[in-house]
Amino acid sequence: MANVLQREKRIAVLHALVNANSERSAADLAGVNERTVSRLALEFGRGAQRIHDRIARDLTCTEIECDETFSFVGKKQARIQPGDPPEYGDAYTWTAEDRASRFVIAFHVGKRDQRAADAFMADLRSRLVVMPELSTDGLA
């Protein structure tokens, strides 16, 4: 049988992560290895994505706000070296929220480019059954 972390430990890791602790701090607080926290964070994220994909379908939201938030993966874009992985550098979380309920309808993590914008908008459109009013900050 595979080595499975006890339910209480999994909950302790999740609790630490959702309370804005780093993976290192979450590992220390829960008494587990840092790699275990990384693995669980991915597992929790995939589960949350599956739930969101089931819930956020056939929506009739009429007013939607879209925006993007800056972050980075590994290092900032200005410090990227030729041998760094392609996912390293600047990353933006694109979000679309229903103005009335603040429900996140769609999100996409990627660069701040046309390809990411097109993927984000295609996902948003696939979740709606109406033509909404969209508000953005005017990103070209």
pTM value is 0.81
Is residue 69 scored above 90 in pLDDT? yes
In the chain, pLDDT over 70 holds for what percent of residues?
A: 98
Burial label for 140, CB within 10 Å (0-12, 13-18, 19+), is: exposed
In the chain, pLDDT over 90 holds for what percent of residues?
A: 92
| Residue-wise pLDDT tens digits, 100-116 | 999 999 999 999 999 99
| Residue-wise pLDDT tens digits, 46-66 | 999 999 999 999 999 999 999
| Whole-angstrom distance, CA of residue 110 vs CA of residue 90 | 8
Please give the DSSP secondary-structure letter assigned to residue 22.
Answer: -
Label residue 4 by pLDDT band (50, 70, 90). confident
Q: Can you give the pLDDT at residue 138?
A: 81
Label residue 2 by pLDDT band (50, 70, 90). low
